[in-house]
């Protein structure tokens, strides 16, 4: 996902471009490590999720190098603020939302999400400039709560039918896969997942309320 995303952003070439891509991958590793260790233990399911992600996006050889770096990062105190602010400056908003989705994917790899993991992802999202409503919408894809469909649509449970329809139309524009198609197939697939959840939430609310 983010290997393709970086290729779409990178204006450098040669050794300099490779260095920039390496820096980008390590920045992702810092955030990855912060989420993995948030609940006090690193689970094999989470590590496997990250390994597969890096293989798919950076190739097997580089992935092996990055996983070694991850092992070292897991032993350190991490500055997620600096990394989050850098990403906020250099990555467009749609890509940053996909990054939040990736971080939730790590935390959900073992089938459940701990409050500490949600808290660190919320903190990282704040540094990256993610709107709180967008954060809650992405979180609701992974954390099933009463009213999660409403959170995905970024409306309250007492919103009017017209407010729900309006919010759905606006979010459908924001999360449409075509908006990130230029960033690579993996990013587009992540956007399609979010778009599918958005549509499912809207259909669930329509059925619940009898909206035509």
Q: What is the pLDDT of residue 9?
A: 47
Tell me the mean pLDDT in the region 173-180: 85
Whole-model pTM: value is 0.69
Question: Quick one: CA torsion of 20, 120, 202, 189, rounded to 10 degrees?
Answer: 30
Residue written as token pair 């689970």: 43
Token reading at 92: 């467009």
Radius of gyration of the chain (CA): 18
Q: What is the pLDDT of residue 183?
A: 75
When pLDDT is cut at 50, 70 and 90, the band that residue 1 belongs to is: low
Tell me the mean pLDDT in the region 38-63: 90
Q: Give the pLDDT confidence of 109-134 residue by residue, as tens digits.
A: 988 788 899 999 999 999 999 999 99
Question: Quick one: CA torsion of 20, 38, 95, 146, rounded to 10 degrees?
Answer: 180
Percent of the chain with pLDDT over 70: 89
Burial of 55 (0-12, 13-18, 19+ CB in 10 A): middle
Q: What is the pLDDT of residue 162?
A: 93
Mean pLDDT (the chain, rounded)? 85
Tell me the mean pLDDT in the region 29-49: 93
Contact call for residues 106 and 42 (beta carbons, < 8 A)? no
Q: How far is CA 165 from CA 155, 156, 160, 208, 212, in A?
A: 10, 13, 9, 14, 10
């Amino acid at each position: 996902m983010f290997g393709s995303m970086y290729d779409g952003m990178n204006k450098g070439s040669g050794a300099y471009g490779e260095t920039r891509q390496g820096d980008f991958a390590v920045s992702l590793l810092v955030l990855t490590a912060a989420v993995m260790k948030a609940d006090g233990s690193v689970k094999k399911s989470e590590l496997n999720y990250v390994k597969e992600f890096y293989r798919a996006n950076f190739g097997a050889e580089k992935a092996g190098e990055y996983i070694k770096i991850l092992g070292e990062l897991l032993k350190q105190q991490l500055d997620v603020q600096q990394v989050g602010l850098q990403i906020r400056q250099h990555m467009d908003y749609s890509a940053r939302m996909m990054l939040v989705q990736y971080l939730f994917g790590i935390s959900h790899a073992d089938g459940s999400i701990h409050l500490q993991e949600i808290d660190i992802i919320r903190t990282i999202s704040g540094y990256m400039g993610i709107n709180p409503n967008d954060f809650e919408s992405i979180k609701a894809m992974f954390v099933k709560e009463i009213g999660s469909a409403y959170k995905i649509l970024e409306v309250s449970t007492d919103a009017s039918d017209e407010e729900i329809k309006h919010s759905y139309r606006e979010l459908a524009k924001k999360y449409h896969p075509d908006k990130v198609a230029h960033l690579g197939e993996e990013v587009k697939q992540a956007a399609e997942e979010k778009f599918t959840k958005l549509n499912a939430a809207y259909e669930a609310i329509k059925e619940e309320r009898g909206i035509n």
